[in-house]
């Protein structure tokens, strides 16, 4: 009641507060304009040594314990598509544009916000670079946080594009796939951060795609199976690590009784586009093989790992995959039924040099 009384002591105090608030808004507006013009946004990024966290500019991983502690990935599917198309279009040109660099440039200009006008900014930067009048190094020289966004966005997108072979034919482009096979319907919305209550109150750190039981689940990126089996929260689940170690893909709530593609096990090397499992609604039970999830769906998540201490602990980094899911819709893997079995497999074989290199590495490890 005392607080309510203090809020009603007269218009004099209110008027002063309103005037101060208006002044602060004016100052903030000036700062925003300056940030847009110079590209120097004071984006809070956690860094520290030995686990001690302070706000400041992100730094690259080094032996003394400095590494990125937090990433917010707000790139829209429109911006992803625009930057990607420019990368592919200029692949054999004298100036080959890099889609991650273009996205990082815009993020450094806007403080990581991708709103109306982001695609235009990407295109304007691309024209300057293609003309030869400037380079990305010159364009970003005064941008304090460009290096941070470049490292962070490379961690998110680094394995999704490159050279590969599709049915023996050399291709350059998107070598990452939608986690839902082509020809299978699903629905989704941005549910990242929504509350969850089973076990303990916690935010939803993934993306749910609702569909039918048995829908083939696809490996988004090539990698190796790091985890496979039952988890009381995710039910039957698969964890796949990218070859560079930076990304951990989590696929959960797979089908009861027949959750995984035949032969899949921990340590298996998978190529992007491979069928790895089947949609279900298992989980929310300490007992294995139980359907306690009400809605049939795939939960897929993307965790960034700059240091192994981030893999499981209080400083995990999970990114919102909604825009990525929309962007990856353009690359859905066609599958075919395997005889009279419950199995599906990809219809067109793909060879990923990154997967071949990793297989050779584990076959003949360095001394």
3-state secondary structure of 173: strand
Position 54 pLDDT exceeds 60 = no
Nearest partner of 153 among 218, 249, 223, 246, judged by Cα: 246
Provide the 10 A C-beta neighbour count for residue 338: 13
- For position 198, what pLDDT does the model report? 75
Domains belonging to the chain, first-starting first, are 38-157 (no CATH), 195-363 (2.70.70.10)
Write out the E strands in 232-289: 235-241, 247-252, 269-270, 275-278
Adjacent-strand bridge partners of 173: 162
Alpha carbons within 13 A on the beta-carbon side of 324: 25
Nearest partner of 85 among 73, 61, 102, judged by Cα: 102
- Categorize the per-residue pLDDT at 365 as very low, low, confident or very high, splitting at 50, 70 and 90: low
Provide the 10 A C-beta neighbour count for residue 17: 11
Q: For residue 358, what are the contacts with CB-CB under 8 A and spacing of at least 6?
A: 222, 224, 243, 269
- For helices 11-38 and 99-110, what crossing angle results, to 10°? 150
Nearest partner of 332 among 216, 178, 171, judged by Cα: 178
Q: Tens digit of pLDDT for each residue in 293-350? A: 999 999 999 999 999 999 988 889 999 999 999 999 999 999 999 999 999 999 999 9
Tokens for 338?
């395997």
Burial (Cβ within 10 Å: 0-12, 13-18, ≥19) of residue 345: middle
Q: Tens digit of pLDDT for each residue in 159-210? A: 999 999 999 999 999 999 999 999 999 999 988 878 777 767 778 789 999 9
pTM above 0.75, yes or no: yes
Q: Tens digit of pLDDT for each residue in 92-150? A: 999 999 999 999 999 999 999 999 999 999 999 999 999 999 999 999 999 999 999 99
Q: What's the rounded mean pLDDT across residues 244-251?
A: 98
195-204, long-range: CB < 8 A, 24+ apart:
198/233, 198/284, 199/232, 199/233
Q: What letter does residue 215 receive in the DSSP assignment?
A: P
Tokens for 110?
């806007």
Tokens for 348?
């067109």
Position 22 pLDDT exceeds 50 = no
C-beta of residue 278 within 8 angstroms of C-beta of residue 218: no
Reported as type and span, the H/E element at residue 336 is: strand 335-337
* Ramachandran angles phi, psi of 21, nearest 5°: -60, -40
**Whole-number average pLDDT of the chain:** 85
pLDDT above 90 as % of the chain: 74
- For position 44, what pLDDT does the model report? 33
- For position 50, what pLDDT does the model report? 25
* Ramachandran angles phi, psi of 113, nearest 5°: -95, 125
Alpha carbons within 13 A on the beta-carbon side of 82: 21
- For position 257, what pLDDT does the model report? 97
Q: For residue 274, what are the contacts with CB-CB under 8 A and spacing of at least 6?
A: 218, 219, 261, 346
- Categorize the per-residue pLDDT at 367 as very low, low, confident or very high, splitting at 50, 70 and 90: low
85-93, long-range: CB < 8 A, 24+ apart:
86/122, 86/123, 86/126, 87/161, 88/172, 88/173, 90/130, 91/172, 93/130
């Amino acid at each position: 009641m005392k607080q309510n009384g203090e809020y009603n002591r007269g218009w004099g105090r209110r008027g002063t507060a309103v005037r101060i608030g208006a002044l602060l808004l004016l100052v903030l507006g000036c700062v925003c304009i300056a940030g847009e013009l110079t590209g120097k946004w004071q984006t809070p990024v956690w860094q520290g040594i030995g686990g001690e966290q302070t706000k400041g500019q992100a730094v690259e991983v080094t032996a003394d314990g400095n590494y990125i502690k937090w990433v917010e990935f707000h790139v829209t599917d429109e911006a992803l598509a625009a930057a990607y198309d420019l990368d592919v279009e200029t692949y054999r040109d004298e100036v080959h544009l890099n889609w991650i660099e273009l996205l990082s440039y815009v993020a450094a200009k806007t403080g990581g916000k991708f709103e109306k006008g982001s695609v235009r900014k990407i295109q304007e930067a691309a024209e300057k670079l293609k003309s030869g009048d400037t380079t990305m190094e010159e364009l970003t020289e005064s941008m304090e946080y460009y290096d941070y966004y470049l490292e962070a966005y490379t961690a998110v997108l680094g394995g999704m594009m490159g050279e590969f072979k599709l049915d023996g034919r050399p291709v350059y482009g998107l070598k990452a796939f939608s986690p839902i096979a082509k020809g299978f319907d699903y629905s989704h919305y941005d549910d990242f951060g929504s509350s969850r209550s089973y076990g303990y109150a916690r935010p939803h750190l993934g993306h749910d795609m609702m569909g039918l039981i048995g829908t083939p689940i696809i490996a988004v990126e090539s990698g190796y199976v790091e985890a496979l089996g039952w988890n009381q929260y995710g039910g039957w689940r698969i964890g796949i690590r990218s070859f560079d170690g930076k990304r951990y893909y989590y696929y959960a709530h797979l089908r009861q009784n027949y959750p995984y593609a035949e032969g899949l096990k921990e340590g298996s090397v998978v190529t992007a586009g491979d069928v790895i499992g089947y949609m279900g609604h298992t989980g929310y039970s300490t007992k294995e093989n139980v359907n306690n999830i009400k809605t049939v769906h795939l939960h897929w998540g993307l965790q960034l790992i700059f240091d192994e201490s981030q893999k499981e602990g209080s400083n995990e980094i999970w990114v919102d995959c909604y825009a990525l899911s929309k962007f990856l819709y353009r690359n859905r893997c066609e599958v075919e039924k395997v005889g009279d079995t419950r199995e599906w497999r990809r219809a067109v074989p793909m060879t990923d040099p990154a997967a071949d290199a990793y297989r050779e590495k584990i076959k003949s490890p360095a001394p």
